[in-house]
Amino acid sequence: MTVYSSSGGSDAEFLRRLKAGDEQAWTQFTQEQSQRLYSYLHYNLPTDQDREDVLMETMVACVRAVPRFDGRSATLSTFVYSIAQRKVADFWRKHKKTNELPEVIPTRGISNKGLELEEAMAKLPEKNRQALLLRYHIGLSVTELAESMGLTYKAAESLLSRSRRALGLLMNE
C-alpha cells in the first residue's frame, strides 16, 4: 500500500506527523485518500451527493480517530477503509426506504459489460460485494482486506473465492 511520506519516510513517521497536526501531512493524506475513497464509494452509494457526503464524514472521522490509531494492528489505508465501510453502513441504516425503479434506465456512456457488472455486483450479498471492491477495485491486499473486515486471512481468502464464483455465476445468467 501507499507509503505516505514523499520524503522517503515510513508510514509510522507519516502517522506521527498526522498525530502532531502537521498541515502538510494532512493535506497529503486528504489528497491521496479522497480519490480512492470516492471511487470505493461510487459502488456503494446511489448518488454523487451521497458519495460526497459520506466521503466528508469519513475524512472527518479519520481526523478524529487518528490520535487513537497506533498503527500496530493495521495499515493506515486499512484503518481508513474500515472507517469508510462503517460510514457506508451508517448511510444505509439512515436511508432504509426503497425507491421504485423507473421504467427506463438511461445507459448513456455505460457499456453493456459495465452495466452487467454493476447489476451483478448489486445482486451480491453486501459482504461479498465489499470484499471484491476492496480487493480488486481499491487494491487492498488479502491481509489488509482481512484486517479491514475483521476476518482472519484464511476467512478473507475463502470469502474472496466464494465472491468471485458468485459474481461469475451472476455474469453468466
CATH code (residue 67)? 1.10.1740.10
End-to-end Cα, the chain, rounded Å: 35
Domain carrying residue 26: 7-97
Q: pTM to 2 decimals?
A: 0.60
CATH code (residue 156)? 1.10.10.10
Q: What is the pLDDT of residue 100?
A: 46
- The answer to whether residues 124 and 89 belong to one domain is no
Give the end of a domain, one of 97, 128, 156: 97
**pLDDT per residue as tens digits for the range 25-39:** 999 999 999 989 999
Give the end of a domain, one of 42, 65, 97: 97
| Rg (alpha carbons) of the chain, rounded to whole number | 18
CA–CA gap between residue 29 and residue 69 (Å, rounded) = 15
CA–CA gap between residue 50 and residue 52 (Å, rounded) = 5
| Contact predicate 41/84, CB 8 Å | yes
Q: What tens-digit pLDDT sequence spans the chain (173 residues)?
A: 344 444 445 788 999 999 999 999 999 999 999 989 999 999 889 899 999 999 999 999 999 999 999 888 778 888 999 999 999 988 888 876 544 444 444 545 544 555 678 888 889 999 999 999 888 888 888 998 898 899 999 999 999 999 999 988 888 87
On whether residue 107 sits in a domain, the answer given is no
**pLDDT per residue as tens digits for the range 133-162:** 888 888 888 998 898 899 999 999 999 999
- The answer to whether residues 120 and 143 belong to one domain is yes
- The answer to whether residues 90 and 156 belong to one domain is no
In angstroms, the Cα distances linking 56 to 29, 84, 94, 162 are 13, 10, 16, 32
On whether residue 105 sits in a domain, the answer given is no
- The answer to whether residues 87 and 127 belong to one domain is no
- The answer to whether residues 85 and 119 belong to one domain is no
Q: Total structural domains in the chain?
A: 2
Closest by CA to 42, choosing from 84, 70, 9, 12, is 84
